[in-house]
Structure 1
Amino acid sequence: MNEARSQNHDHDHSHDEAGPSRRSVLWTAGAAGAGLGLGGVTVPQPAAATPRTPGAAADVAAAPEAKGRTMIGVPFERRSTVRVGIIGLGNRGGSMIDLFLAMPGARVVALCDPVQEKTARAAKKVTTAGQPAPAVYTNGDHDFEDLCKRGDVDFVYVATPWDWHFEMAKTAMLNGKHVGVECPIALRLEQLWELVDLSERTRRHCMQLENCCYGRNEMRVLRMAHAGLFGELLHGAGAYIHDLRGLMFDPKYYEGPWRRLWHTRLRGDLYPNHGFGPVANYMDLNRGDRAVRISSMGSPARGLAAYRKEHMPADDPSWKESYIESDRTVSLVQTAKGRVIRLEHDVSTPHPYSRINSLGGTKGLFEDYPERIYLEPDQNNDEWGDFGKYAEWDHWLWKEHANPPGGHGGMDYMLVFRLIQSMRLGLVPDFDVYDAATWTAPVPLSDRSIRANGAPQEIPDFTRGLWKQARPGMDSEKPVE
């Protein structure tokens, strides 16, 4: 059973070298030597296509009956102090704790990770920051359940391997806690629907904590798009293109092979959220438009096997693995308004990092990596313009925090700052469970589309028809404290 619960996210990596004798129930490189290393974990099967009836009512007909009132527009309860519990203390959780501790009005009251050294290290950070010693939960793989039962936790932050995200988010809400999860929030369509239903029934927010939505470029483009500088929006693109080959074979990087093993299970886009989230915000998906269908294609799976052949010894457990995940997946998402979004995923071949982050409309376009812009009438000579000249369009968060601390260029800080601010002031969150489900739906649906030779797959309307109503999102006004 995959029991490792300290996620190493993006550029943040674990250096835990513990083996089976120390943590027998945790993923380790040694445990992966048994068969394919699936360890009894339930492998997500290709999701069944969502039924869609013809006619004007199709968007609502595809959705199951609501089990509670919508969470659209529901504010947090106002509170002077936000009490945080953190599950997963690898380098992602172990670094994000620094930002929670730096926020006025936030207290870290509970920590959970089955590796005692990690909880001890994180607990020391809490007391060093001048806060009371937190409760710690290290008693096996389900001790997070006891953390979620605490009466003094308002918000649960989950930074664990993907296999655990759904169960932990579900447990938090069932115990009356708001919850934020690293991406992807779940791996199957039925799990996404269950999280939507639970959020509505428990009246707790369940959020995909998508840090890339808070990047400076992303927030500037968001404001420019909403101000009409791109004209009518037509197309966008987002991606996760990041060479992780060496890192996925390094037992000191990820805590065991959990991330690499997903390349033995699914063929589609394993990590769409970083690219999809910002473009969805530009286009106001779930706020006047919605993602309707996705069609995906994938290249052969060659990169990891080729890297293994060149770099791994013959007795390495990875030789028992068979990789099926496409080295490059390309997906096209169409919206109800006819717009097109291109999503790409590639972590198995050599290339520089890119999230693409592109937006085009009737007046021009922006493209990132490197950043460049072409807008009429500012540019009309077939040469890219200087995006830096549009700094006046920076979001108020970036004007107020020009040099934020923390990882990923400051976007992590912006995410945590805005989350804690919203909870303290009783604001509606910048994104909700419907966004989380939409941004994650390409994981199972792209896999199904690739297995069906690119056949379009319907994306559920998680809002049950309420997407047609315009409403605020991340393009927020600075609140009055």
Structure 2
Amino acid sequence: MSDRLKLGIVGINWRGSDIKPAIDATGLIDVTAICATRPDRLAEAAKTLGVEATYTDYDRFLDEADVDAVFLATPMELHVAQSVAAMERGIHVLCEVPAATDVEECRVLVDACQRSDAVFMIAEQYNYRREPAAIAAMAERGAFGDMYYAEGEFNQNIQSILDKTPWRRRWQVGVNGITYGPHSLGPVLMWMAGDRVTSVCCAGAGRRYRDGRGELLELEPAATMLCRTARGALVRVRCDLLSERPMGVHYQLQGTDGFYDRGDLWLRSRSADSEQSESLDAVAESFLPGEYLEAEAKCRTSGCACDDYLMLHDFVESVRRGEAVTLDIHQAMDMTLPGLVSQQSIAQHSAWVNVPDSREF
């Protein structure tokens, strides 16, 4: 591979094109081809992305396009089949979340990764945001002590786009439980490095909303999952895609020597009084690595999202150097499998259900 990664983008929705400024900012990527099922939008996308090679057939795209890697910004039910097809051809994969839509798909994807020399990375950009990154830096230094409780919430009302995106109607609100959990769980698992969810129970607030045809949606609002981890911690995950409210993403972390809650921070190493918290914003720069601060400055200048930039940079550098990616297949499974198993739990009246470990597939 040359110094620059030749990237093909699959899916030209807002995510497929929104990431272009971050791609340019890395200085390491050339977008050489795009693939989408709607020919009427390909020309516009090609112009936006500065690409000449366009495809509507994914297999043809993989066989003919000059690409080292693909970025899959496609509906979630396509992620496994498209990832497997790429890796079978030795093409690296950066895949949007979640990684799969059922447990059997997870087994198929893990098997494909084990058989291929190609890199697979899950595109969980929330792990690269300033708030989670700062807390991760503190946790790595042991600032929170023994971390035994955490929360992650992702709340976004998507009712207005269900008719335009049938896949969301089917897979995000047509299934009950946690259907879009990685944004909530990914940062928490990053803080609790080396831990994983071993069992879950899930409940919701009852079926209350209908789609544009008047059909009752399967997903219950305020879907909430409790997770037990291998190290004995408790994690609460909420993913609410229906409640009528502003979008909100919130995190909390509790340890024996500190806590974090929606911007408020207390660390024993900084204050003996746990009643006196301070703002994360006031201290984040003293914990964030220099590389992160440099990336922030670069992204401010280039006008791109820093989380996207850092995620892409990690992916490209791993491919170029032949090193393990930051968010590999097993971390992808650790973010994905609990939500899939929660769907079994909520169907069984919130019973606790064990979560398989992809390392043992």
TM score, norm. by length of structure 2: 0.92
Find the aligned partners of 2:172 and 2:24 in 1 and give their Cα distance: 35
More strand by share: 2
1:273 to 155, 170, 182: 182
| Contact map agreement 1:97 1:122 (CA 8 A) in 2 | no
The residue aligned with 1:348 is 242
Structure 2 partner of 1:176: 90
Instruction: Identify which of 55, 79, 82 aligns with 1:137.
Output: 55
Q: Is the 8 A contact 2:154 2:248 kept in 1?
A: yes
Determine the structure 1 residue equivalent to 2:26: 103
Q: Give the deviation of 1:384 after TM superposition.
A: 2.4
Comparing 223-232 and 114-123, the one that deviates more: 114-123
Partner-residue secondary structure (3-state), 2:296: coil
1:328 equivalent in structure 2: 222
In the TM superposition, residue 88 of structure 1 has moved relative to its aligned partner by 0.3
Which residue is equivalent to 2:100? 186
Distance 2:253 2:25 in 1: 34
What does residue range 67-466 of structure 1 map to in structure 2 within 5 Å?
A: 79-127=2-50, 133-138=51-56, 143-150=57-64, 152-248=66-162, 251=164, 256-262=165-171, 265-284=174-193, 287=194, 289-302=195-208, 304-305=209-210, 318-319=212-213, 321-368=215-262, 371-379=263-271, 380=273, 382-390=275-283, 391-403=285-297, 404=299, 410-464=306-360
Structure 2 distance, partners of 1:365, 1:102, is 35
Q: CA deviation at 1:107?
A: 1.1
1:152 Cα deviation after fit: 3.1
RMSD: 2.2
Structure 2 residue identity aligned to 1:243: N
Partner in structure 2 of residue 130 of structure 1:
none
Measure how far apart 1:151 and its partner are.
6.8
Conservation of the 8 A alpha-carbon contact between 2:119 and 2:319: no
- Report if aligned partners of 1:219, 1:395 keep a CA contact under 8 Å in 2: no
- C-alpha distance in 2, partners of 1:261/1:191? 17
Which structure has the larger Rg? Answer: 1
Name the CA shift for 1:291/1:179 in 2 (closer, same or farther; >3 Å).
same
List alignment gaps of at least 5 residues for structure 1: 1-77, 128-132, 309-317, 466-481
Give the 3 Å change call, closer, same or farther, for CA 184–407 of structure 1 in structure 2.
farther
Going from structure 1 to structure 2, the CA distance change for 1:204 and 1:340 (only over 3 Å counts) comes to: same
Structure 1 position 150, deviation (Å): 3.6
Letter aligned with residue 299 of structure 1 = A
Bigger Cα displacement from structure 2, 179-188 vs 393-402? 393-402
Letter in structure 2 aligned against 1:346: D
Check whether the contact 2:26–2:309 (CA below 8 A) recurs between aligned residues: no
Matching residue's letter, 2:242: S
Q: Report the residue type matching 2:91 in the other structure.
A: K
Change (3 A) 1:381 1:360: closer
- Relative to structure 1, the CA distance from residue 301 to residue 383 in structure 2 (aligned partners, 3 Å threshold; closer, same or farther) is farther
1:231-255 per-residue CA deviation (whole Å, 9 max, x = no partner) reads 1111111121122233435x4xxxx
Number of residues paired by the alignment? 357
SS at 1:274 equivalent: helix
For 2:295 and 2:304, how far apart are their aligned partners in 1?
A: 15
What TM-score, normalized by structure 1, do the two folds share? 0.70
Secondary structure at 2:360's aligned position in 1? Answer: coil
Separation in 1, partners of 2:250, 2:18: 26
AA in 2 matched with 1:268: G
SS of corresponding position for 2:9: strand
> 1:333 Cα deviation (Å)?
1.2
Alignment partners' CA distance in 2, 1:459 and 1:203: 27
Give the deviation of 1:263 after TM superposition.
5.4
**Alpha-carbon deviations, 1:302-343, whole Å to 9, x = none?**
1x32xx6xxxxxxxxx22533111101111111111011111
- The offset of 1:204, in angstroms, is 2.0
Q: Distance in 2 between matches of 1:328 and 1:181?
A: 27
Shift of 1:450: 0.4
Amino acid at match of 2:55: Y
